[in-house]
A = this chain, B = another copy of it.
């Protein structure tokens, strides 16, 4: 294949695939945050007319996908494949979304790294000639995550300052072989990195080393640096994790000025730190899914950004692994989007 190019962890694309467009659906709190205007649909009530939070999350993901198809002029019959995942046990939101959509479906689990996992897989399958159009996406919901991983929401437990707020949000993009203004340039597949963090209220610290590992491998594979990107954006390290990632990047020899000016984190952008009381910022698959599919795509389409490295970041703990003495391993996959 003429355009085949393989780095150690990086795959390269030429002449597509393209991001036809995307859509983000967010909860009430996220719709009141600083990025509010960039999202396509803001819920008034996070139950979204459903009897359970899980069903609401599934409906949000489905709605984001339907909106992404509508905005890009695709019918369901144009879509060859749906790729998605979420945080819930047995990816309940995605499975039931796929039951309702009735399209060929491959379920993913990468914890909060799912958005770039689906984006990268979708890009490879489109470029490989196995689909004309693929819908990729991810979702999370504060109430479903809280009760699954932490405490019953009604309990109203106090959270330490390092804890993050799982975003009630879903994002979806349509990848296509058909030319549009944004192309997928390359992607770097992450490894599972375990820094030994055991505190589930320190997710940012647990995931930061994985994010940095993928960024450094990306730079080593591509020969690029921060200077080659308008923005390097991690998924949900939050304020604590973002600071750790920045320190690790500078320690690894990255230019401190560029790290400061060009590196950011979706979890640090989604909520107003002072006004919205989310402690260390946002988290969850939906955090980067909505920020990438809402905010970033529109800024690329408007020409405010030209080339970005997006890295959704996941904590691969399970609901029982901490009780078995395990630390929290992290993973991050990177995807480069570029205006063309």
Interface residues of A (CB under 8 A from B): 1, 3-4, 6, 9, 11, 51-52, 54-55, 80-81, 85, 87-92, 95-96, 98-99, 102-111, 117, 120-121, 124-125, 127-132, 189-194, 316-321, 324, 326, 329, 331, 333
Most chain B CB inside 10 Å of its own CB: which residue of A81, A87, A324, A333 = A324
CA distance A130 to B106 in the complex (A): 18
Given that A89-B319, A96-B326 are known contacts, is A109 also in contact with B111, CB under 8 Å in the complex? Answer: no
CA distance A320 to B6 in the complex (A): 41
**Contact residues in B for A107 (Cβ distance below 8 Å):** 108-110, 117, 316, 331
**Contact residues in B for A81 (Cβ distance below 8 Å):** 189
CA distance A318 to B87 in the complex (A): 12
CA distance A108 to B110 in the complex (A): 8
Q: Report yes or no: A106 in contact with B121, Cβ–Cβ below 8 A.
A: yes
Q: Report yes or no: A191 in contact with B95, Cβ–Cβ below 8 A.
A: no
CA distance A168 to B127 in the complex (A): 37
Rank and list the top 8 A-B pairs by shortest CB-CB distance, nearest first. A128-B128, A4-B129, A90-B318, A95-B316, A104-B189, A92-B318, A1-B129, A99-B192
